[in-house]
């Protein structure tokens, strides 16, 4: 992985590809490249580092070919080198391929090709694809036949795009468990792993499904599904994506912009859904499965990373408000375990991008179980949005920083709405929570209005190497998310723990150089959290507390305190996480880190 762009048409393709690659930079990558083909032959340009390092060379030396593919790579097989960057080529440099995903049997294929006389120039799994196409092209009558024969040999997850000097007017593309979308234009067509790369050119798109092979010219798209062995008429859809919202504006980076969009993200997630006047929660995305939901007696939430922590908050909310047992599992573990699964169980997949490979695999695992598959995603039209039976969009808008911020807040808000929806007004908590959801954006804004205080405290702690985050109830998954944010963008060691676990091991780490971020907002468990803080202080550990505004008692045994507005227990984690996002952000800025593109990470994890 990480980003793919392609173009076929009458315009100089190099500029379209470069701008498309720039639009995909938010996903995280380590190298970039572009291949162009016209009637005179092919050209390849590759560099380690950012797309802007590639731009000058391409603009000066590349032809005005109307066919090109480009790629931003996040290394999986082989180090970060020019040789390992994409596009990858066959031995005589007549076939060019870009690839997202992992080819699991590449060692076997490579050995087979080497025995047939092929030599390899990279360490990547991708290079077997152009070499294998070349191998079959010598035996089969057409490029598409060789391409499909190659795909039948390949095991793994992929989106693959290929071009050839022998066919300078055709793009070939295939997808299996890795997103790929075709943009439809007038006498031109586009290709991308993410719609944001082609939004400036068209909003008409064709989503490729698993096992689809597309043959694309400037005027036509032909799709053959390898699994079903059928040719399908492309279904053109209109993208619902406001690209202008993804512009940076006056902010220094996208992460800070997206943190400051928290009030809008919460408001968008509740708009038209939490209806105070009618004392109801309306979720249009679930209306088609209301009959099935009445018979659900267990919900399994599957997710990864930040979305997993949102799911852990949702577990508390759904169990306490809807009286339905909930399990939250890492999708990567769920996929490889055996467990009882009845038809009265619903699987709920959470993913910001809607393209998370492990979460998609979890949905595929239960395809034949006859269970209800639900989704919470932010990206409209994404794979998970299309493969689930029903679901709820987050409506958080584009999120370009690799570390998720506003999407987490929207996910938790949606999970609370689902809990209330399943409760159907039975709980005394129903009305107060609907009202609180409508007040929450203003309370989030109140936190953002005092970022200078958070910044000053964060900078005070920026030189520490280790952090412990602790919390209770929904504050526990919030602590996990706070620790993750510090790890992701500050590159510091941080751990999240349930506060009650302190005496069961973590206390051994505490000394004057190991600060604790204690979530100690008002709750029935606050005094127990006080006890945990006292245990840390007794071992000379610095404590930074997050408390509810008006709590002066906590200052007696904490080095520093950050306050949030008073809110309902069920919505506290939303406000808590905003503070921790800012805390991690200002530490990272103090340490001069690239907060939008943290090292070694990618925005959309499309491989297992």
Per annotation, catalytic residue among 218, 400, 443, 603: 603
Neighbours of 465 (CB within 10 A): 10
Q: How far apart are CA 449 and CA 246, in angstroms?
A: 22
Q: Report which secondary-structure segment, H or E, holds 231.
A: strand 230-232
Contacts of 221 (CB under 8 A, 6+ apart): 182, 184, 189, 206, 214, 215, 234
Query: Does residue 603 carry a catalytic annotation?
Result: yes
Q: Can you point out the beta strands (E) in 394-486? A: 466-471
What is the DSSP track for 527-564? HHHHHHHHHHHTTT--EEEEEETT--GGGGG-SEEEEE
Residue with tokens 């939490």: 274
**Cis? peptide before 87, omega within 30° of 0:** yes
Closest CA to 354 of 315, 313, 404: 404
Of the candidates 14, 397, 355, which has an alpha carbon nearest to the alpha carbon of residue 208?
A: 355
| Sign of the C-alpha dihedral computed for residues 242, 196, 169 and 43 taken in this order | positive
Alpha carbon distance 20, 39 (integer Å):
24
182 forms beta bridges with: 191, 206
- Report, in angstroms and rounded to the nearest whole number, the Rg of the chain calculated over CA atoms: 25
**How many distinct helices (H) and strands (E) make up the chain?**
18, 27
Give the DSSP H/E element, type plus range, for residue 480. Answer: helix 475-490
Neighbour-count burial for 175-205, b at 16+ CB within 10 Å, e otherwise: bbbbbbbbbbbeebbbbbbbbbbbbebbbbb
**Catalytic positions:** 2, 603
């Amino acid at each position: 992985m990480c980003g793919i762009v392609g173009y076929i048409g009458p315009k100089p393709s190099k500029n379209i590809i470069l701008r498309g690659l720039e639009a995909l930079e938010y996903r995280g990558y380590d190298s970039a490249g572009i291949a162009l083909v016209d009637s005179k032959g092919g050209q390849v340009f590759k560099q380690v580092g950012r797309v802007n390092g590639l731009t000058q060379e391409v603009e000066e030396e590349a032809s005005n070919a109307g066919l090109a593919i480009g790629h931003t790579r996040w290394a999986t097989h082989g180090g970060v080198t020019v040789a390992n960057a994409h596009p990858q080529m066959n031995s005589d440099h007549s076939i060019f391929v870009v690839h997202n995903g992992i080819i699991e049997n590449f060692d076997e294929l490579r050995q087979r090709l080497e025995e047939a006389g092929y030599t390899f120039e990279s360490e990547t799994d991708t290079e077997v694809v152009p070499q294998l196409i070349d191998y079959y092209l010598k035996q089969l009558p057409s490029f598409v036949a060789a391409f499909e024969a190659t795909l039948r040999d390949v095991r793994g997850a992929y989106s693959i795009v290929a071009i050839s000097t022998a066919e300078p007017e055709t793009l070939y593309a295939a997808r299996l468990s890795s997103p790929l979308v075709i943009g439809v234009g007038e006498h031109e067509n586009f290709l991308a792993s993410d719609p944001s790369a082609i939004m400036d050119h068209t909003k008409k798109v064709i989503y490729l499904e698993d096992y689809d092979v597309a043959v694309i010219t400037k005027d036509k798209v032909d799709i053959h599904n390898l699994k079903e062995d059928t040719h399908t008429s492309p279904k053109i859809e209109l993208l619902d994506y406001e690209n202008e919202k993804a512009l940076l504006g006056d902010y220094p980076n996208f992460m800070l912009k997206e943190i400051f969009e928290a009030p809008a993200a919460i408001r968008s997630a509740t708009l038209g859904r939490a209806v105070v006047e009618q004392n109801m929660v309306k979720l249009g995305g679930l209306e088609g499965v209301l009959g099935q939901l009445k018979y659900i007696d267990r919900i399994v939430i599957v997710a990864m990373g930040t979305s997993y922590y949102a799911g852990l908050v949702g577990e508390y909310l759904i169990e306490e408000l809807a009286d339905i047992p909930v399990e939250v599992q890492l999708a990567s573990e769920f996929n490889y375990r055996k467990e009882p699964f009845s038809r009265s169980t619903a699987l709920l997949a959470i993913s910001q991008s809607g393209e998370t490979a492990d979460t998609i695999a979890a949905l595929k695992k239960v395809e034949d179980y006859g269970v209800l598959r639900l989704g919470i995603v932010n990206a409209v039209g994404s794979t998970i949005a299309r493969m689930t039976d029903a679901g709820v969009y987050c409506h958080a808008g584009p999120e370009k920083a690799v570390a998720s911020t506003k999407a987490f807040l929207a996910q938790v808000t949606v999970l609370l709405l689902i809990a209330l929806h399943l409760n159907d007004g039975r709980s005394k908590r129903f009305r107060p929570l609907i009202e609180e959801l409508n007040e929450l954006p203003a309370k989030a804004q109140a936190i953002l209005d005092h970022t200078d205080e958070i910044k000053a405290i964060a900078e005070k702690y920026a030189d520490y190497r280790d952090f412990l985050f602790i919390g209770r109830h929904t504050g526990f998954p919030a602590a996990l998310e706070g620790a993750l944010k510090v790890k992701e963008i500050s590159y510091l060691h941080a751990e999240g723990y349930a506060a009650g676990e302190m005496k069961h091991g973590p206390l051994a780490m505490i000394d004057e150089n190991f600060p604790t971020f204690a979530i100690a907002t008002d709750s029935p468990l606050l005094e127990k959290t006080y006890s945990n803080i006292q245990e840390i202080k007794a071992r000379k550990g610095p404590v930074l507390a997050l408390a509810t505004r008006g709590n002066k008692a906590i200052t007696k045994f904490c080095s520093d305190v950050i306050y949030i507005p008073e809110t309902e227990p069920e919505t506290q984690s939303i406000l808590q996480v905003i503070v921790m996002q800012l805390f991690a952000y200002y530490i990272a800025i103090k340490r001069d880190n690239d907060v939008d593109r943290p090292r070694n990470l990618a925005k959309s994890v499309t491989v297992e």
